[in-house]
Amino acid sequence: MLQIKNLHASVEDKEILKGINLEIKAGEVHAIMGPNGAGKSTLSSIIAGNENYEVSQGEIFLDGEEISEFAPEERAHKGVFLSFQYPVEIPGVSVTNFIKTAINESRKANGKEEMPANEMLKLIREKAELLEMDRKFLSRSLNEGFSGGEKKRNEIFQMAMLEPKIAILDETDSGLDIDALRIVANGVNKLKNENNAVLVITHYQRLLDYIVPDFVHVLMDGKIVKSGTAALALELEEKGYDWIKNELN
């Protein structure tokens, strides 16, 4: 589904990603962990097509198609979804209108008709319920005045509506209270199927109790230095990152 080959990227002449290789197959959940500043958010931004980074080498494939040159919108239409570490506020655009527009733009790009209004309404209700979202959020301006946890939950709502092929969740767990963490994680689990994949970036094992990864990767200083199963996350929680550094030396 998603294949990253020898990805090198820099910002303002500083190399941040130093040769990332990653393959995520349909039906899989991968987790990336790693110290602050390792390049996790950079990697997710680059997959989504953020143009502030210069990709100097490497390729990104989605379902076998090279997408490195595609604009962020095109990637979204092809099924790449990124939940940001820091979601943006869009005053004057309601949660409902934002998602309606996003869905219809995506349908248009894929040669489909607009979704009929009643179908859209039904879908919105269904997904809001899945994530136990308060209805009043749906008419509020996107993220404006939302608490940290509300923003995160709203992003998962957008993901639920858009049904992406690959969902990248960058620290979706940070700032969520215990109940919200469970609700959001269960939402992700319910959306998971054999035809999509999830990449979660997290600092804590806790989220991975709910969203159980098939593979865990450690990103350090722009490289994936270790990969393993869910057990690796437990080991990291216990030992921190230094033992990996020692192992590498």
Ligand X SMILES: Nc1ncnc2c1ncn2[C@@H]1O[C@H](COP(=O)(O)OP(=O)(O)OP(=O)(O)O)[C@@H](O)[C@H]1O
Phi/psi region, residue 222 (left: phi>0; alpha: psi -120 to 50; beta: rest), is left
Binding mask 71-100 for ligand X (x = CB under 6 A): --------------x---------------
Looking at the Cβ atoms of 44 and 196, the one nearer to ligand X is: 44
Q: Which amino acid is at 191?
A: L
Looking at the Cβ atoms of 19 and 27, the one nearer to ligand X is: 19
Residue 172 found at the interface with Mg ion (CB under 5 A): no
The encoded tokens of residue 52 equal: 């502030």
Closest contact distance (angstroms) between CB of 211 and ligand X is 18
Task: For residue 234, give Cα distances in angstroms to 28, 103, 207.
Answer: 19, 38, 11
Helix pair angle (148-162, 178-191), 10° resolution: 10
Residue 145 found at the interface with ligand X (CB under 6 A): no
Closest contact distance (angstroms) between CB of 127 and ligand X is 27
Looking at the Cβ atoms of 42 and 154, the one nearer to ligand X is: 42
Residue 201: what are its φ and ψ, rounded to 5°? -110, 125
The span of 36-44, 150-158, 159-167, 181-189 binding ligand X (CB under 6 A) equals 36-44
Burial of 33 (0-12, 13-18, 19+ CB in 10 A): buried
Site of tokens 């943006």: 88
Task: For residue 20, give Cα distances in angstroms to 28, 32, 76, 77, 226.
Answer: 19, 12, 22, 24, 12
The span of 10-18, 86-94, 159-167, 236-244 binding ligand X (CB under 6 A) equals 10-18
**Using CB distances below 5 to 8 A depending on partner kind, what does residue 37 bind out of Mg ion, ligand X, none?**
ligand X
Residue 12 found at the interface with ligand X (CB under 6 A): yes
**Using CB distances below 5 to 8 A depending on partner kind, what does residue 36 bind out of ligand X, Mg ion, none?**
ligand X
Among 1, 24, 29, 38, binds ligand X (CB under 6 A): 38
Are residues 167 and 159 in contact, defined by beta-carbon separation less than 8 angstroms? yes
Closest contact distance (angstroms) between CB of 155 and Mg ion is 15
Among 20, 24, 28, 42, binds ligand X (CB under 6 A): 42
Tell which residue, 49, 87, 52, 98, has the closest CA to residue 70.
49
- What are the residues binding ligand X (CB under 6 A)? 11-12, 16, 34, 36-42, 52, 85
